[in-house]
Amino acid sequence: MQASPTNTQEEVQHDHESKKEPRKINALGDKALRKRAYKESFKKLGLRTMAHNPVMLTVEIGSILTTLDTIRYLFIGPSSAFWFTFQISIWLWLTVLFANFAEAIAEGSGQAQADALRKTRTDTNAKRETSPGQFEVVSASDLQKGDIVVLEAGDIIPGDGQVIEGIAAIDESAITGESAPVIRESGGDRDAVTGGTRVISDQIRVKITATKGNSFLDKMIALIEGAKRHKTPNEIALSLLLAGLTLIFLVVVITLAPIAAYSKVVVSITIFISLLVCLIPTTIGGLLSAIGISGMNRLLQANVLALSGRAVEAAGDVNVVLLDKTGTLTLGNRHATEFLAISGIQEAELAEAAFLSSLADETPEGRSIVDLAKNKFNLENPDATNFEFVPFTAQTRMSGVDFEGHEIRKGAVDSVLKWVGSDLVSETKEAVDSISRSGGTPLLVAKDNKLLGVIHLKDVVKQGISERLEELRKSGIRTVMITGDNPITAAAIAKEVGVDDFLAEATPERKMEYIKEMKAEGYMVGMVGDGTNDAPALAHADLAVAMNSGTMAAREAGNMVDLDSSPTKLIEIVEVGKQILITRGALTTFSIANDVAKYFAIIPAMFILAFPGLQALNIMQLTSPESAILSAVIFNAIIIPILIPLALKGVKYRPAGAGEILRRNILFYGFGGLIVPFIGIKLIDMLITSLHLVSLVK
C-alpha cells in the first residue's frame, strides 16, 4: 500500500487502532459460562469422548476401577479401607472432571463469541439483478455464487461479495465490534464486503462470491466453535509424547505388581492406580486442549481470525516479518518540514506560494504545508473567491491554483520542471537530492513558470514503532521494510525506523520473490497484505495476515484475517503464537517435574510395611501411608483447577532472547515444578491429619 502524496483515499487510513473496546470475555468470571461448563464437564465423561485424550482416559479408567474397589470394600470391609478407597475414588473422578471443566470453559468463551456472531446471520432479502436494470427480490439463502445484487443505505449485505460498482459506507460492527463505518468501493483494494454487515450510505452493486454456509461469517463461527478445530503440529507432537509417557508409567505400575509380590508386599489396586495417576502427566494432559482453544480465543479478542490452528503456531515460529512502510512503520502521510528557496527568492515568498497552492488540497500533505506556512510566517487565509484550484491528477502529478493572472503549481520534481520548461540549477538539485537521501520527498513549487524552491515532505515514523521493532529483534525476528520508494530513500527511512533490512521499489513480483528467497534459506516469513496484488505474496508467506478492509483475493490468500485492519497487528499475532507454545512447554515441564515429589510421597507409603527402612525416603514426613497417598492424589487433582487461569490467559510473554526466556521459565516452571508439590503435598497431609480423614497409623 504505497501512498502517493495526494491520494485522498489515504485519509481513510486506519489510525484508530486502540480506540474501541476489545471484545473480551472473562470466561471464569461469567456465571452463565461457568454453569454451562459444569454441565459440559460431566457430559464429556463418556469414554468415547475421552478417547481423544489418552492421559485423561487412563485416569477415568482408573477411577472406574477404584470405584469398583470401593464397592467391594463396602461389602467385605474393613470400613477404614472402604473410607480410604472411597476418598481416593472421589479425587480421581474430580481429576477427570477438573480437566473436562478446563476444556469446557475454554470452549465456552469461544461459544459465547460464536453465539454473538450467529445473531447477525439473520436471513434477509436481496435484490438480485436479472438483467441490467431488472431486479427480483429473493431470499439471501437462494443467492448463488456470481449473482449480482444491488444494495442501498439500510440494507443488510446478504452474502460475501465484491463491490463492482459504486462506493458506500458500511457498518461492520457486527463482525469487528468497531462502530465507525468503513468505506468500500469498486476497483480498488477495498472492494470486499462481508455478509451480515450493513450499508449505511449510498448504493453499490455487489457480485456475490460465496454461497450460504461458506461465507466468511460461517467460517468464523465454525472456527470459533471448534467444529473444525484440528490439532496443530506441535500439539500433535506433544500429545504423542504425553501418550508415550502414559504408556511407560502404565507398564511401570503393571510390572510393579509382580515385583511387589516377589518382595512380599501387599498393595491394593487402588494404591497402584493412585501411583499411576500421579505419575502420568495429568496436569498438562488435562489442560492441553484448553491452552490451544484459549489461544485462538485470545486472537479473536484481538480481532484476529485465524483460519487454521497451524497458522497460529506458524506465527510463533516466524523469524522474518515483512512490514509495509506506509501505514505500518510511518504514518500514512508525509508532513512538510521546511521550505528551501532558491537563491534570489525569499523563503516567505516560497512559503506563501506553497500556502496558496495548498489551500484546497485536503490531503494530509497539503494540510501540513498550510500549517507549516501559517506557523512560520503568520499567513492568513485570503479571500479565495477568485481562486481557481487545479486538482491533482495522475497524469499531471501536480496541483495548484490560478488567481489574478498568476499560476502557482506544486508537485513532483520532474512534472514541475516540465511545466516550467527548465532544468534544475545545481544548488536546487543538491537540495532535492539531499531530501531524497534523508528519506523525504521533495516537492517543487513554481510560480508563473519560474521555480521558487522546494518543500521538504518527510515521512513521519509512528510513535513507539522503533521500540516494537526492537522487541521483535530481541525475540530473534528480522524485520524487513517493504516500500515503493527508491533504494536511497528507503535506506534512510529504514535507518530511522530501525528495521534490519528493506525491500525498495517493491512490486508484487519482487515481494513474492523475496519471500521465496527467504523461505529457501529456511526462514519462516510473516506479512500483512490487503490488495489483490498482495495475494501472491500472501499465498507464499507462512503467516499471512489479510486485512478485513482488503480485497477478497487477499483474504482468501491469507491464513489470518485482521478484522481491525491494523497493520501492526502482526506483532501481536506473533506474540500470541509464542505464548501458546510457551504455555504448553511450561505446563509440561511442570507436570513432569512434579513426579519427583509424588514418588517420594507414594513409594515409601506403598512399601513401608515390608521395608520399614524406606521411612527414610519419606522426606516430607507425611503422617501415614494412607494420608501420604491421598495427599499426593489430592495435590494432583487440585493443581489442574489452580492452573486453569494460567492455561486460559497463557504464560506471560515478554519479548527477549530465547536464552533469557528459557532461564526464566525453567526457573519458574522447572524448579517450581520440583518444589511446589513437596510443599503442597505436605500442607494437604497436615490438613488430612488434622481432620482425621484417613487412618493415621504409620
Partner 1 sequence: MTLQGLVQPFIIIAVMALLAKPFGTYLYKVFEGGSTFLDPILGPLERFAYKISGIDPQREMRWTTYGLSLLAVNLVGFVILFILLRIQEFLPLNPAHQSAVPFWVTFNTAISFVTNTNWQVYSGETTMSYLSQMWLVSQQFISPAIGITFLLVLVRGFSRQESKTVGNFWRDLVRGILWVGLPLALVGSVVLVWLGSPQNFNPYVHATTLQGSHQVIAQGPVASMTSIMQLGDNGGGFFNMNAAHPYAAPNAASLMFQEILGFLIPVGVIYMFGKMINKKRQAWAIFIAMSAMFLIGSVALYHFEAAGNPIINHIGLATHGNMEGKEVRFGVGTTSLFENTTTAVSWGSVAASNDSLTPLGGLVTLFNMNTGEVIFGSWGVGLMGMLGYVILAVFLAGLMVGRTPEFLGKKISAYEVKMASLFLLIPAFAILILTAISLTTHAGLSGIFNPGPHGLTEVAYAFSSGVANNGSAFGGLSSSSPWYSATVGLAMLIGRYPMYIPLLAVGGSLALKQRVPASAGTFPTEGPMFIGLLISTVVIVGALIFFPVYALGPIAEHFAMVAGKLF
Helix 309-317 to helix 282-301 angle, to the nearest 10 degrees?
90
Catalytic site residue 402? no
According to DSSP, residue 671 is labeled: I
Based on CB atoms, which residue is closest to partner 1, 355 or 653?
653
Q: Which stretch binds partner 1 (CB under 8 A): 5-13, 117-125, 197-205, 573-581?
A: 573-581
From candidates 399, 475, 624, 631, binder to partner 1 by CB under 8 A: 475
C-alpha–C-alpha distance, residues 276 and 396, integer Å: 80
Residues 111-170 that bind partner 1 (CB under 8 A): none
Interaction between residue 270 and partner 1 (CB under 8 A): no
Judged by CB under 8 A, does residue 578 bind partner 1? yes
Give how far Cα 144 sits from Cα of 130, 212, 473, Å. 12, 8, 48
464 binding partner 1? (CB under 8 A): no
Which residue among 12, 153, 164, 259 contacts partner 1 (CB under 8 A)?
A: 259
Query: β-pairing, 450-461 with 330-341?
Result: antiparallel
Binding status of residue 477 toward partner 1 by CB under 8 A: yes
Min dist CB 610 to partner 1, Å, is 8
Torsion sign, CA atoms 382, 385, 387, 393 = positive
DSSP SS3 for 47: helix
474 near partner 1 (CB under 8 A): yes
Among 227, 266, 394, 616, binds partner 1 (CB under 8 A): 616
By CB under 8 A, tell whether 670 contacts partner 1. Answer: yes
- In sign, the C-alpha dihedral spanning 232, 238, 241, 245 is negative
Tell which residue, 78, 120, 25, has the closest CA to residue 649. 25
Task: Say which residues have a Cβ less than 8 Å from residue 476's Cβ, sequence separation at least 6.
Answer: 319, 657, 658
Name the segment binding partner 1 (CB under 8 A); options: 79-87, 121-129, 232-240, 368-376: 232-240
Query: Which of these is catalytic: 147, 155, 218, 324?
Result: 324
Which CB, 204 or 480, lies closer to partner 1? 480
Strands of 441-447's sheet in order across: 330-341, 450-461, 441-447, 406-411, 398-403, 388-390
Quote the CA–CA distance of 346 and 358 in Å, as a whole number: 19
Residue that has been written with the C-alpha cell 491554483 in this structure: 401
Which of 529, 673 has the CB closer to partner 1? 673
Least Å distance, CB 241 to partner 1, is 5
Asked whether 577 and 317 are in contact (CB, 8 A), the reply is: yes
Q: Which of 306, 584, 618, 634 binds partner 1 (CB under 8 A)?
A: 584
Using CB under 8 A, pick the residue from 613, 649, 696, 697 that binds partner 1. 613
Contact call for residues 476 and 658 (beta carbons, < 8 A) = yes
The correct pick among 68, 90, 116, 260 for binding partner 1 (CB under 8 A) is 260
The answer to the question of residue 268 lying near partner 1 (CB under 8 A) is: no
Closer CB to partner 1, 156 or 581, in the complex: 581
- State yes or no: residue 662 binds partner 1 (CB under 8 A): yes
Residues 341-380, one symbol each (x = binds partner 1 by CB under 8 A, - = not), give ----------------------------------------
Measured from the CB atom, the residue of 248 and 488 that comes closer to partner 1 is: 248
Q: How far is Cα 252 from Cα 93, in angstroms, rounded to an integer? A: 22
Minimum distance between the CB of residue 522 and partner 1, rounded to whole angstroms?
5
Least distance from C-beta 650 to partner 1, angstroms? 10
Is residue 514 close enough to count as binding partner 1 by CB under 8 A? no
Q: How many CA atoms lie within 13 A of 679 on its CB side?
A: 7
Site track for partner 1 across 180-219, x = CB under 8 A: ----------------------------------------
Compare residues 16 and 698 and give the one whose CB is closer to partner 1: 698
Query: What one-letter code names the amino acid at 445?
Result: V
SS (H, E, C) 208-263: ECCCCCCCHHHHHHHHHHCCCCCCCHHHHHHHHHHHHHHHHHHHHHHHHHHHHHHC
Give the neighbor-by-neighbor strand order of the sheet with 161-165: 134-139, 125-131, 148-151, 204-208, 161-165, 192-193
Is residue 249 near partner 1 by the rule CB under 8 A? yes
Q: What values do phi and psi take at 216, rounded to 5?
A: -55, -45
Q: Can you say how many angstroms the Cα of residue 373 is from the centroid of all Cα atoms in its chain?
A: 43
DSSP symbols for 394-416? TTT-EEEEEETTEEEEEE-HHHH
Return the residue of 22, 77, 146, 233 that touches partner 1, per CB under 8 A: 233
**Residue 133 CB, nearest approach to partner 1 (Å):** 57
Q: Does position 46 bind partner 1 by CB under 8 A? A: no
The stretch among 56-64, 179-187, 388-396, 600-608 that binds partner 1 (CB under 8 A) is 600-608
619 makes contact with partner 1 (CB under 8 A): no
- Comparing CA positions, the residue from 162, 184, 180 lying closest to residue 171 is 180
The reply to whether 273 sits near partner 1 by the rule CB under 8 A is: no
**Sites for partner 1 among residues 306-345 (CB under 8 A):** 313, 316-317, 319
- Angstrom distances, CA of residue 371 to CA of 330, 338, 354, 367: 20, 11, 11, 6
Residue span binding partner 1 (CB under 8 A) among the ranges 200-208, 354-362, 408-416, 613-621 = 613-621
**105 vs 606 by CB, closer to partner 1:** 606
- Is 688 near partner 1 (CB under 8 A)? no
The answer to whether residue 629 forms part of the interface with partner 1 (CB under 8 A) is no
Question: Counting contacts by CB under 8 A, is residue 266 touching partner 1?
Answer: no
614, 638, 675, 686: which one binds partner 1 (CB under 8 A): 614
- Please check whether residue 323 is in contact with residue 482, taking contact to mean a CB–CB distance below 8 angstroms: yes
DSSP string, 332-364: EEEEEEEEEEPTTS-HHHHHHHHHHHHTT--SH
Report the residue from 663, 683, 687, 696 that binds partner 1 according to the rule CB under 8 A.
663
CB nearer partner 1, residue 32 or residue 616: 616
80 binding partner 1? (CB under 8 A): no
Cross-sheet strand order for the sheet of 525-529 = 304-306, 560-562, 543-547, 525-529, 320-324, 478-482, 501-503
Using the rule CB under 8 A, is 451 a contact of partner 1? no
Site string for partner 1, 520-549 (x = CB under 8 A): -xxxx-------------------------
Number of residues counted as binding partner 1 (CB under 8 A): 76
Instruction: List active site positions.
Output: 324
